[in-house]
A = this chain, B = another copy of it.
Amino acid sequence: MSPAKTKARPKRSGVDLRAVILAGGRGTRFWPLGRAKRPKQFLPIAGPRSLVEETVRRIRPLIPGRRVLFVADAGQTRSLRNVFPKMPASSFLVEPLARNTAPSLMLATARVWLDDPAAVLAVLPADHVIRAPEKFLAKLEAAAGLAAAEPVLVTFGIRPTYPATGYGYIQIDRDSPRPSGGEVFYPVRAFREKPGLELADEFLAAGDYAWNSGMFVWRAEVFARMLEAFAPDLFPFWERMVAALRKKDRRALRSAFEKVPATSIDYGLMERARGVFVCEGDFGWSDVGAWSSLFEIWETDGAGNAIRGESLALDARGCLVYNPGRLTALVGVRDLVVVETRDALLVCSSSQDQRVKDVVEALRKTKKDRYL
């Protein structure tokens, strides 16, 4: 099977670089601001713009908007088109079903591959924060150069700062550095699932583990070859997706999605493939997994309060407040997350903000769907 056509395209550094933005997240951890119809990537929680807008702006020096492809379901795609009204319909790739990241990325890569098999894809989640974008872009550009030149898959690893149990880890083979484009890449020794605290401590102490960020760089044709060689359970669905895209056959695409294993790209391809490199970085990355992660991102006052909205604090410490429309007065309180929206108010111990998803679950169970 070969691509339909190979167009010449404007290229930076000689690389036809595209961004694939995974915008299909449905997290509930930012309730009550985040709702079923407005998940995290659409929230302006890191800056004045939503996370997905920030994601597009951040890479603009390297990848202009016309080379961005969003992958999301039909509903989220409608939201995305409202956020990016100037982008053409071809910038939005609708997943027929949510089947984890491997099918999403097979679909997106197939779509790019049909356009230009030599194109390099930067796969970026829509809902992450990067506080040092220039550092990140330098690494991304180097990774794109490596992926354009060599038959490799590149993954982005984040240097751990604490024994996180909420991320997968990548073990780095520091013995075989591969310099490229001014950065150094390392072969991946192993992918490790989210560890317990003890194991996370070991990973941190060992020094050769990085957090798996879920950001990747690969050349479309290399991805296809890797799938064929290392993911025999997935490759037939790649072929079905390519055929369906070529014929614009939505039923065939849906049928492929119904049957493809619902697996992550890490599990489905990255850990099985050979020629996987990690680009290790410390560029202020955060996956903003909960309200309290914003303490690292928002400005804080001398007492460690991070407040969006007008406020008055008397003897308040370590409070995160999102209440842009009203005055918030805090008196004698510690370590709270306070989030006010039109119809719901959250007051949560900041150390228990991972339980916000339990609130959403409880609302679902008690049929208070209007708050979801």
Please list the residues of chain A having a beta carbon within 8 angstroms of any beta carbon in chain B. 31-32, 310, 312, 314-315, 319, 323, 326-333, 336, 338, 340, 342-349, 351-353, 355-356, 358-359, 362-363, 366, 368, 371
Name A's interface SS. mixed
Known A-B contacts A312-B362, A363-B312; A326 and B351 likewise in contact (beta carbons under 8 Å): no
Chain B CB within 10 Å, residue with most, of A31, A345, A356, A363: A345
A368 to B310, CA, bound (A): 10
List the B side residues contacting A347 at CB < 8 Å.
319, 328-331, 333, 336, 338, 347
Cβ of B332 and Cβ of A345 under 8 Å apart? no
Q: Indicate how many identical chains form the complex.
A: 2
Known A-B contacts A332-B352, A349-B333; A326 and B344 likewise in contact (beta carbons under 8 Å): yes
A351 to B332, CA, bound (A): 8
Cβ of A327 and Cβ of B343 under 8 Å apart? yes
Nearest-neighbor residue (CB-CB) of A330 within chain B: B347
Nearest-neighbor residue (CB-CB) of A32 within chain B: B329
A368 to B355, CA, bound (A): 35
User: Which of these, B338, B352, B363, B366, contacts A315 with CB under 8 Å?
Assistant: B352
A-B contact pairs, 21 of them (CB 8 A): A32-B327, A310-B368, A312-B363, A312-B368, A315-B352, A319-B347, A326-B345, A327-B368, A328-B345, A329-B344, A329-B345, A329-B346, A329-B347, A329-B348, A331-B348, A331-B356, A331-B358, A331-B359, A332-B351, A333-B336, A347-B347
Cβ of A331 and Cβ of B343 under 8 Å apart? no
List the B side residues contacting A326 at CB < 8 Å.
342-345
User: Which of these, B315, B338, B355, B362, contacts A345 with CB under 8 Å?
Assistant: B338
List the B side residues contacting A346 at CB < 8 Å.
329, 331
List the B side residues contacting A336 at CB < 8 Å.
333, 347
Q: How far is the CB of A104 from chain B (nearest CB, A)?
A: 32
Beyond A331-B347, A331-B353, A331-B355, 9 additional pairs, beta carbon < 8 A: A312-B363, A314-B355, A319-B347, A326-B345, A327-B343, A328-B345, A329-B346, A331-B359, A332-B351
List the B side residues contacting A355 at CB < 8 Å.
314-315, 331-332
